[in-house]
Structures are given as C-alpha cells and as structure tokens.
Amino acid sequence: MISQLFILSSKGDRLVYRNFRGDGGDDVTDAFYRAVTSLPGDRAPVFMAREGRHFVHVRHGGLYVGVTTTADTSPFVLVEFLNRLVTLLREHCGTLSEKSVSVNVALVHELLGEMVDFGYIQTTATEVLRSATHGEPETTKAFSLLDLRSVGLFGAETQQSKVAPGSITNRPVLPPRGEQPARSELFVDVVERLTVVIAANGTPLKVDVQGEIRLKSFVPGGCELRMGLTEELSVGTEEQRGYGRLPLAAVAFHSSVDLEEFEQERVLRVTPGPGEVTLMRYQLAEDVPVPLPFRLLPSVEWDPAGRLRIHLKLRCDLPPKQGDPTLCPPSPPSSHAINVVLQLPLPREASSLAQELSSPEQTAELQGGGRCLRWAIPRCQGGAQLGAVFRVQLPPTPPLGLGPAALTFELPALTVSGLRLRCLRLSAPPGAPPAPPQRWVRHLTHSDSYVVRL
Amino acid sequence: MTDSKYFTTTKKGEIFELKAELNSDKKEKKKEAVKKVIASMTVGKDVSALFPDVVNCMQTDNLELKKLVYLYLMNYAKSQPDMAIMAVNTFVKDCEDPNPLIRALAVRTMGCIRVDKITEYLCEPLRKCLKDEDPYVRKTAAVCVAKLHDINAQLVEDQGFLDTLKDLISDSNPMVVANAVAALSEIAESHPSSNLLDLNPQSINKLLTALNECTEWGQIFILDCLANYMPKDDREAQSICERVTPRLSHANSAVVLSAVKVLMKFMEMLSKDLDYYGTLLKKLAPPLVTLLSAEPELQYVALRNINLIVQKRPEILKHEMKVFFVKYNDPIYVKLEKLDIMIRLASQANIAQVLAELKEYATEVDVDFVRKAVRAIGRCAIKVEQSAERCVSTLLDLIQTKVNYVVQEAIVVIKDIFRKYPNKYESVIATLCENLDSLDEPEARAAMIWIVGEYAERIDNADELLESFLEGFHDESTQVQLQLLTAIVKLFLKKPTETQELVQQVLSLATQDSDNPDLRDRGYIYWRLLSTDPVAAKEVVLAEKPLISEETDLIEPTLLDELICYIGTLASVYHKPPSAFVEGSRGVVHKSLPPRTGSSESAESPEAAPSAGQAAEQPAVIPAQGDLLGDLLNLDLGPPVSGPPLAASSVQMGAVDLLGGGLDSLMGDESEGLRSDVGGSPAMGGSGFTAPGPAAPAAMGAPLGSGLGDLFDLTGGVGTLSGSYVAPKTVWLPAMKAKGLEISGTFSRQVGSISMDLVLTNKALQVMSDFAIQFNRNSFGLAPAAPLQVHAPLAPNQSVEISLPLNTVGSVMKMDPLNNLQVAVKNNIDVFYFSTLYPLHILFVEDGKMERQMFLATWKDIPNENEAQFQIKDCSLNADAVSSKLQGSNIFTIAKRNVEGQDMLYQSLKLTNGIWVLAELRIQPSNPSFTLSLKCRAPEVSQYVYQAYDAILKN
C-alpha cells in the first residue's frame, strides 16, 4: 500500500504530492530529499528507510518520483508501479521534466486519483485512464526533429539514433480530444541484451541472451495488429521444444497478447490502445550456440621495471551481410557495431600510457586514477579486425594479472538470437482513417555484460 | 501561456485576486483559478483562506473542475472542519448523480476527508454505492469501507458494512472482487481473531475465477489473499496451484512473485512423490531467472527472495547456477548477494565450475567483493567435502599472489577449514607462516594465532611465533589479545617445558595490564586452571572442538518458514519478519507454512528431504571459543570465597579419597604452596576473589638458579637400609635441543632418600658453567633438596656425574601422566626444559609394612571399584624370590598363602605422601604371567604402581 506519493524536482521542490492514507506529516518530501542528497554518489538506493518510513523512488528526467509506505508492501509492486507511472506521465505530458509536470499538474492529479485509491493501486492501463480523465495535456514545446537531446529508442537506454526518428516518440500519445491524430504511427522495438563471459582460452563460459519486444502506438484503439515472428522459434525446455533453430528457454507475454496463432504460425495478435507496452520478454535457451560478435586476442609482455606492453587484437565476427532483403523491413546491407568501448583493469595504478591505434577516430585513455584502460571505437564493421598497442608504466611490483576485459557495444539492426519480425499487419476497424499508419520496426542488440578473461 | 503562471507567490494581493477569479461567472476563468489554487497547494503554499470560495465552485457539472475542488477539499478539510460541513450536502447529492463517475468520485472523496462529522453523513451514501449497479462505483465503495474503518472502526462494524463487503467477494466484476479482497485483508489485519476473510472452497473458487480477469494490480491483491488461505488437503492445494501457475509468466514481476509465494506455500502440502510436485518445481525456475533481468535494484530484491527460496527448496534452482555468476558491471550489492546464492547452490556436481568462477572473482578490483569471494571459497570447502582439497589449493594459489587483503582473507577461511577438517591440511601451515608479517587486520592475525596455537606441536618455532605477537600485546585488538592468550596456553599445555616464561608473561599481561574485563577474566580462568589442575586445564583448553558446518549461516528454519510466507514483500528483503520493522504494526499475525498432509511423508526419498528438516537436525551454532569459557565460568570452578576452601579447591587429585586416607603430608605441602600464593597477592586474596596471584606462576616458573634448594630441608623417611631398583640412565635432554648440553639420568632411592642421578655432558665447543636446576610442580611434590653442584666449569667433551638429592615437600600439582616431571636446567648459555617420567617406586617409603589386621580391614574397606588388575608377563621368578626382590624396593609382603597350587602374596606399600597401596599377587608355578590386583583409595596411582612392579620384577 502506498502512503504518500510525490514528484520532486532535482532541487527538491515539490511538484506533485498526494497523501493517500492520511497518515504521516507533509514533511516527508523534505525528509526524503535530505536523505537522498546526504548520500554519497549520484545514485541513491531505490529503497530507503528513514524516520520510520520506507521510501521507494525512481529517477527520470532529473525528477524524483517516489512513494512512501509503512506497511509490509511488495517492493516489486512499488517499483513496477513507479515505472508504469513514469511511462504514463510521458504518454500524457510528452517528455517528463520539471516543466511538463508543473504545467500539467492538474492532469497529473486527476490521473493519480484514478490510479491509486487509499493506497491501493487501481489501474495503470492507458485506455482505462483515458476514459476516466478529462484534463487536456498541455505540451511544453513544439516537437522538433532536430532536437537531438531527445533522440533515442524508448525501449533501451542507448545512444543509438539514426534508425528511426527518435523525437517523434516523445510526444503525448493521446491526441487532443476531438482532433484527428496528426499522424498515426506505430513503433515496434526488438531489443536484446547480451551477457557473455569468455574464458582465457577463448571458449565461451556463459552466453545469455535476453530480449523483449516493445510496442509504442500512436494509433487510435480498435485496430488489430498481427505480428509475425521468426518461424524457427521454439519454446520450452530441451525435451519440450523439438528442433527449432531458435529455442527460447522462457517467454512471458503481456496479458493483452492473443496467442491463438502463436503455436502454429508464430503470430502474436494484439489490439493495442495508444501507449507503450512490452509485448513479449524472452530468454534464449542456454545450450544454443550464438555467434559471438567480438573476439579479443591479447598478448601482454611484462618488464621487471614495471613497463607493460599490451597488444590487443579485436575481431568483429559479425556477418558482413545479414538477413533476407525480402523481409519487412529489409535488413540493412551490412552489419556493424557502434560505440564499442573496451575497458581493461590494470593490476596497479598506471602512471603513463602510450598508444598506437589503427584509426584516428579511436581513442584510448586511463581512467579510475590509472587503474583502468579505456579504448573507445565509435564504429566497427562486421568482419573487421582492429589492433592496438598500449604501453603502460606501472609501479615495479609483481603484478597480479590483467583483466578481465569488459566490452560494451551496440549492434544496430541486428538481434544476436536471430529473432526478427517477419511481418507487421494492421487490420483497420470499420470506418478507420483511410491512410494506413506508419509502421517502424527497429532491431537492436546491446551488451549487458561482455567479459573476456585474460 | 507562460509556464510559471501557477507558481506565483501568494501574497495578500494574489489571494485577493484568486478570490475574485473564483467568484467569476465565466466557467473557464473559474477552472483556471482553481487550477492555480491547486498548483499553489501542491507546492506547499497556504491557500486555506480561499476555502469558502473554492467550495462554492463545487456545484458544477464540469467533471474536471469538480475533481480539482474535491482535491482541494481533501487537503484542507481537516484544518477547517466546520467549513467542510458546508460541502456535505453537495457530496450527498453527488452520490445520487446519474453519472457513475461522479457518484464514485463523491464517495471516494468523502472517505478521504477524515473529519468525524462528515463520516457520519457518509454512511447512507456508502451503503447505496456498495450496491450500485455500476461496478466502477462498487469498486470505489469497497475501498471506501477500508477508509472508513481506518477512521472509525466501530462505526463500520455497527453499520454492517463488513458483511456487505464480504458479499462483494462474490461480485461479478473482477475489479470489485479485487478491491473487496484488498479492503478485507487490511481490515482483517487489525482484527487478527476475527473471521473476516472466512475463505472456503467456494469463495476461493470465485477468487481464482476473478484472478484470470482482473488487472495486474488486482491479481496481486487476490494472490496475496490466497496465500493466507489454508487448503484443507493436498488435493485442494494442488488444484489451487494449478490455477495459479499461469501467473508465473506474467510480465509484471510483482504478480510473478506473489504467485511464487502462493506456490511455495502450498507446495508444502504436496507430497513429493506426486508427478505434479516435480512439474511445479520445474515451472518455478524460469520466472525466478527472468526476474534477474530487471534493473539492478529489483534484481537485488529478487535475489534476496531467491536466497530464501533456495534455502527452503534448493532443488528448484539447482540447475541454474550459471544465472548467478557475477557480471562485471553488477553493482556490488548484487554481486555479494549472487555470491551468497552461488554457495547455497554449490554441490558436488557443480563445484568445479563454481570454484573456477570464485577464483576469477578473487582477482577483481573491488576489494569488498574480492574478500567475499575468498570467503566463499572457504565456505565451499566446508559445504562440499569432496571439494575441500581443491579449495585449499585454490586458496594457496591466492596466497601466492601476495596481495595483502587476499592473503588475510585466505588465512581467515583456512582457519575455518581446519575447524571442519582437523588434521587434514596441516601441510599448508608452513606457507601460512611465511605470510605472518603481512597480516595487519585483527581478524587475520587472530586466525593465524589460532592456527599456531591449535597446531603448536607441529610447528617447531610456535613459541617464537607467538612470542613475536606478544611484543605489541597492548596495541592489538581484543580479538587478537584473546586469541593470543588462548594460543599460548595451548602451547604451554602441549610443550610445557619450553614455554613457562611465555605463558607467565601472557597471563600477567592479560590479568594485570589490561583494562578489558573479558581478557582479564579469561586470563584468570586459565591461570587458576593451570595452577590448580593442569589435567583439567588440558581437558578444557585442548578439548576436542565440535566441527563447524555450513549450516551456521543458514536462516533458522522457523524464521525461514515465516519469511517464505512473506515472499515478495519488504520482509523478504530485510530477512526479518514484518513485526521487526513495521512501525506501529497493527495486530501482527504470525504467518506460518501449512503443515504437510498426505500419508506419503515417510516415503520421501532421502535426497529430497526438505532442507529445513536437515538444518534442524544439525547441531545448531558452534560455540566460539569464548563461549566455551563462558560456560566454564558458570561451572563450579569459580574461585572460593574464603581461606580454607581455597585449599580444597586446589586439591583436585582425587581429593576426597586422599583426605580420607589421612594424608597429612599432602595437606602440609599443599597449604604451604598456597600460603605463598596468597601471600604473593594480598590484594586479590583480600578481595575475596581469590584468583591466583602472580606468585603462583612465579612458583612454577620462577627464575632459575636462585638457590631454591635452600628453601627446603632434606626430609627423608627413616627406614632400613635397602637398595631399591635403579633403572639404567637414559638421555633426557639431547644435545641438539640444548645447545650442546646433553643430560641423561635416572632416579634412585637409597636409605630413605631419593636422588636424581645425572650425567651432564658438554658437547658444545665452549665451557659451561653456572648450572642450576629446578622442577616444575608435580604430583608428589618432588623437588631438589640441594642446589645442583657442579664444582668446576664443564669443558667441551667433558662429562660430570652428579647425584642430586630430592625431597617431596615441593608444591603439588597433578600431572598427566601422574609421574611426569618437568625439569628446567640452566647454565651460562641458556635455560633448557625437558620432562621425564620417574618410576613410582622411588616414592615407596621404608615404613610401608602394614599390620595384618589393618591390612584385612583396609582391604575390605576400600570399595571394589577401586581395585585394578594387571598382568605381569614373562616373569620366571618364584614366590619367594619375588617377595625378596620387591622388599628391596619397599614393597612388603604381609602374608603368603597357597591356594590350589597358586601362590598368593599379600603386600602393602606406602607412598611418600601417605597413600597406602594394597596388593595381591597371584603366582602360578607353571605360568610366567602373574596377576596383580591393586587396591588403593587413590586408584589413579595403581597403574604407576603396576609399572613399578613390572620394572622391579624384570630386572
């Protein structure tokens, strides 16, 4: 049960405050802000207990969105709710910022009144809220495709851009009442996260792929969406799943997804309302070999005086060409990785670094007071091999050993599992607008944790 | 429209301005004004002065405006209760509005106005709304009952709202059901005894139906309520489980965890033989694994829950070890929690994999994590016996890295491994000792000291090692000081001859120079133990320690069962029951798992036995060494209060028997020793707390060569001239151990006086001089009767024979073995210690012949359990020869009988301390084995008397 709910600006000003159960003073926000700011580090823990209250908060757009509870409530409920609240606020106010919240404060109150009653969460469904609220969203500024700040996939917090117009997703989902939507659009993201540990001898110790399909719709309700997935998909444990090329160990669907055709056709049917939903979460079975995107071939030479020569060869094993152009949408002609960063912890604090890199756009530097070597590669083509030589000066004590090296990267337009959207059809309800909605499908893989032991 | 229009400061003028706008005729203007008021209110400005004006706007058909006004009312009604009454009429009217949204809004808002007068008016509208035709109104009304109950519980009961609420559980709309369940659950919490949530199979069925249809949040209410239900048998439990299982694949992790909670609870009732049980186990793993893909904070919550689940039912996740491998970018709290779970899941099957991971972690950068990883290796060793050897070698590898904190942690865990597998991995001690200097953390130092003390007999230079720690004794932390004290006492008990000074030093440091009561008390206890009864000290200090087991870090089973009932809640994160942290918790209901039903309990396969059961059978927590001593304090070993009992407490060697035998000499010796004790520490004696003062150890390890022999006069018995048997000389102190001084010797008794016949040989290259000798306290008070007289300096390769007269008036302390004598010899080079066993017959006094009548009476008088029988083998003497041979060593034959061809000799002897020993020796002419029966009031001497018999007869 939620006792109080608040949204604070980054400076601790109260933007929204509701006391649902009439217990506790109104000074909780001050107590919370004091607690948050008195902690070292820039990220306070999600759960905090202060002055007999349990605070749970998330941070978005510089705002603190938090609740308090005194009862023994499920932390999952609270965090899920806060995340949902943030999504809803985005849908109703466009971006989430101090400005947009304070302008729409009446609407936010109205929403909260419907969402929570006496601390019991009632609903977080966009459609339901839509019918129960009457306030109109006020937008804070005109949309600009040139506004690069708001570029980004809504599904994953990455810097990937250029694939689809990003800022378009940062507007209220709900068109002003009584107006035809300016443009009906539909975004589907297939985002995969890759967790890999590669042993020193090059064999993968652990390969874990988690993915999700997200849908953000600006289409008025009533249209049925049919989404065809890769047909080789199979689900279940080893005994259950048969011979599919793309075995998934665990799948979870949103409750609105109709799975009637899933078994046979691998088609998800959903009738989306305006708003954002995660349609499907899945995990690739562990016993399936996944082509790993990167290999690292290091060679290290020690010198008793503490000089260390590290020669790193990074091979990008992405296929030079991927996919079938007949797919919808067609695969890009070649695959590549972007924003590749390799971090290599050093055994002792290094005092100096000399580097030989293969191209000027790459950079290398020491971080963490010399305890870590960071090599950044903005873009790496599939099939390419990059080399770099680093010379590091360390204190002349016997070293403990290097590594492990950690890689972060993004693979645009590619899913490592091979799961793709085969087709995306929207059947219009009777009397639908003549123009079919614009559909955007985006695939992306990013590294959650990609570790190469040395 | 400017962004800041709602956020202007509320000066008098602005309030006035708002007032005017609120009273405007234009609807739009009114609405904007109310919005401004709400904005001011939200940021915490006082706009209560506008109350009447805002309430005036209440009667509007604009829903948006109405909501804003209601919001204002909720906020200020409490501070302006009289004015709030003005609004009641509108509320009541709105509750009858044709628009269900308005009806619901009115009833919702009224419940939030916590003013008694208003709640009175609420009852009627609420009653109507609970039966409203629109589900939206009903669900709002259901929550309103909970609100009203919070304000005025009595009113709710009197008005019969609870019954109406119960009826709503059977409502056709799932959202109404969910809210009714939520409200009832909350109300039931404050009435633990009431039967509010009287769930029966029918209502459960309705809940399960509603579960499939309501929103995700409603599903959580229903699942949490289901978890409190107690199915009547395993079949019902199974059918509920079957209907809850689909929730496991819900996208909302809160729903998943609530479903897990229900399943974990009801599984308790299912028989493990059921196929369904196995199916359910398999279904639980994937959703738990999926929870780990959430953001780190939720991962942490999930891991805390999984930690509980794994302890309760390890079989669920036993194949999912890899999921818990640490990612380099996990936050530290996630990493530590994962490590914990990895160890809980570690088994023989996956231990190699786990160890390889842990070894990798031990080389990471984060110090806290590395430490925990090293500890984890130790815990693996303790948990999985087959892996112990591998773990130890991994730890040794890590020690070789010489990274300071890694080495220290490794030593701490190796100590634990020693406690689990004693006498198995001592070969690594040498490696550990190499790193002694790098230990700077108290825990590691204490662990290392413990190891040295525990294995003192295998570490040649244990005394040096411990002595090196002793130098900075007062700068050490208490942990180290305590451990050092114990270790040195252990060392002393194992190598008494060489470490007297050390033990004396540490005892005085602990008792005199320390302010820490723990340390002081422990010091006194050891001191008393050592000075009164070294055998007991040995038994206590060197007692066999119970083995530690990995169960020590498990959650206690009853708590675990309770926490399982709170899966998914804050309690499962804190691992504490809610009563421990929910402030002002309402009537706390103690939740517990359902009892297992079904008859197949006994047929459970052993490997599937619930871990809780196993944990219960295990010995609970191992007492630390401190606890052991704590227990001792509660025993009657505590110091006596006054003088005379002091003496009694010192006589531990079969004191009762000895005193019964009228042993004046022993008493005499004893009290003399004690007098010096008390005299040496008047302060302590006077205070009633008669802990041994510093004089006591001084007597046992005082500086040598101080002419101690002068203290005592020669007191020999007066008896016949007789040459008692003298054993050949043996080497007591090899030259290697004494920097070139070799001592060999034997004991003899002649003409009533005991002497120690020594040969000192100088095998060093330098001249030795200034010899002196001293004995430690011993069982019979043997002490040198004169100083050790070596007249000329002993040149290299020269020997000197000395006969050192002894008496038996020294301090008495029971030794083990009884005839053990610890000797210190000093010369100009050093002090050397050795111990030797003296044959008991040197203590047989010349007047040991008992009167026949006396013998018979005494023989009968001594209880039979004091009789000991021994066989003397391979002795070909006849009865007369035996008799005369024994007589030479003061064993007197009192009578001889021939029974059925056997000779029976009845003999008596008396020890220097007055103990009589009666003997019956049976000799069969054809048999070289004699049977010796000994009767004595102090039966512990019998064995040594037998040894004396044996030695005398065979030479």
pLDDT tens, residue by residue, B221-262: 999 899 888 888 888 899 999 999 988 888 888 899 999 999
β B820-826/B831-837 pair status: antiparallel
pLDDT of residue B373: 92
SS3 state at B211: helix
SS3 state at B565: coil
What is the spatial distance between Cα B916 and Cα B908, in angstroms, rounded to a whole number? 7
Using CB atoms, pick whichever of A73, A118, A286 lies closest to residue B147.
A118
What is the residue type of A321? Answer: K
pLDDT of residue B76: 85
pLDDT of residue B828: 83
What distance lies between CA B137 and its chain's CA centroid?
A: 58
Q: Do residues B161 and B148 touch, judged by C-beta distance below 8 A?
A: yes
Q: Do residues B250 and B262 touch, judged by C-beta distance below 8 A?
A: no
Cβ contact B581–A49 (<8 Å): yes
Cβ contact A22–B143 (<8 Å): no
Q: What is the DSSP letter of B618?
A: S
Give the confidence band of B12 by pLDDT, cuts at 50, 70, 90.
low
pLDDT of residue A11: 87
Least confident of B17-26, B534-543, B602-611: B602-611
**In the predicted structure, residue B187 carries a pLDDT above the cut 80:** yes
Question: Which residues of A are less than 8 Å from B1 in CB distance?
Answer: 138
What is the spatial distance between Cα A96 and Cα A103, in angstroms, rounded to a whole number? 11
pLDDT of residue B652: 39
Residue A386 pairs in a beta bridge with A314
SS3 state at B792: coil
Could you tell me if B260 lies within 8 Å of chain A, comparing CB atoms?
Answer: no
SS3 state at B595: coil
Give the confidence band of B342 by pLDDT, cuts at 50, 70, 90.
very high
Cβ contact A281–B293 (<8 Å): yes
Could you tell me if B292 lies within 8 Å of chain A, comparing CB atoms?
Answer: no
Q: What does the pLDDT look like over B779-827, one tens digit per residue?
A: 888 888 888 887 778 888 888 888 888 888 888 888 888 888 888 888 8
Give the confidence band of B619 by pLDDT, cuts at 50, 70, 90.
very low
Q: Do residues B803 and B781 touch, judged by C-beta distance below 8 A?
A: no
Render each residue's pLDDT in chain A as its tens digit; 454 residues. Answer: 888 999 999 888 888 998 888 777 778 888 888 888 887 765 667 778 777 788 888 888 888 999 998 777 788 888 889 988 998 888 888 788 888 888 888 889 989 989 999 889 998 888 788 777 777 777 655 444 444 343 344 444 444 333 444 444 555 665 555 555 556 778 888 999 888 888 888 888 888 888 889 888 877 767 788 888 888 777 766 555 556 667 787 788 887 888 888 888 888 888 877 778 888 888 887 766 777 888 888 888 877 777 888 888 998 887 765 444 444 444 455 678 888 999 888 877 777 888 888 888 888 888 877 778 899 999 888 888 888 998 888 776 655 567 788 899 998 888 888 888 888 888 766 665 556 777 888 888 888 888 888 7
Within a 10 A sphere around the Cβ of B130, how many other Cβ atoms?
22
Could you tell me if B712 lies within 8 Å of chain A, comparing CB atoms?
Answer: no
Report pTM: 0.64
Question: Which residues of A are less than 8 Å from B68 in CB distance?
Answer: 106, 109
SS3 state at B606: helix
Mean pLDDT of chain B: 79
* Mean pLDDT, range B435-446, rounded to an integer: 88
Q: What does the pLDDT look like over B394-413, one tens digit per residue?
A: 999 888 888 888 899 999 99
Q: What does the pLDDT look like over B56-70, one tens digit per residue?
A: 888 887 888 888 888
Residue B95: which of B58, B130, B129 has the closest Cα? B129
pLDDT of residue B612: 39
Q: Do residues B760 and B794 touch, judged by C-beta distance below 8 A?
A: yes
**In the predicted structure, residue B146 carries a pLDDT above the cut 70:** yes
Least confident of A88-97, B12-21, B661-670, B779-788: B661-670
The domain at B3-244 falls in which architecture?
Answer: Alpha Horseshoe (1.25)
pLDDT of residue A172: 62
pLDDT of residue B598: 45
Question: Which residues of B are less than 8 Å from A123 in CB distance?
Answer: 215, 217
| Class (C level, CATH) for B730-840 | mainly beta
Look up tokens 């040096």; give the residue: B464
Within a 10 A sphere around the Cβ of B693, how many other Cβ atoms?
22
Residue A278 pairs in a beta bridge with A214
pLDDT of residue B223: 93
Which helix (H) or strand (E) segment holds residue B837: the answer is strand B831-837
**In the predicted structure, residue B140 carries a pLDDT above the cut 90:** yes
Kindly provide the ipTM of the predicted complex, given to two decimals.
Answer: 0.71
**Smallest Cα distance from B782 to chain A, Å:** 59
Which one of A120, A195, A240, A449 would you mutate to disrupt binding with B, by most B Cβ within 10 Å of its Cβ?
Answer: A120
Could you tell me if B185 lies within 8 Å of chain A, comparing CB atoms?
Answer: no
The tokens for B265 are 């609870």
Give the confidence band of B431 by pLDDT, cuts at 50, 70, 90.
confident
Cβ contact A122–B251 (<8 Å): no
Long-range contacts of residues B746-750, Cβ cutoff 8 Å, at least 24 apart: B747/B806, B747/B838, B747/B839, B747/B842, B748/B724, B748/B803, B748/B842, B749/B724, B749/B841, B749/B842, B749/B843, B749/B844, B749/B889, B749/B890, B750/B722, B750/B723, B750/B724
pLDDT of residue A146: 41
Strands (E) across B505-651 are located at none
Sheet holding B867-872, edge to edge: B867-872, B930-936, B916-923, B902-910, B892-899
pLDDT of residue A429: 64
* Mean pLDDT, range B569-584, rounded to an integer: 76
Sign of torsion over alpha carbons A115, A120, A121, A123: negative
Give the right CATH number for B843-954 from 3.20.20.70, 3.40.50.2000, 2.40.30.270, 3.30.310.10: 3.30.310.10
Question: Which residues of A are less than 8 Å from B301 in CB distance?
Answer: 47, 75-76, 79
**In the predicted structure, residue B640 carries a pLDDT above the cut 60:** no
Residue B25 pairs in a beta bridge with none
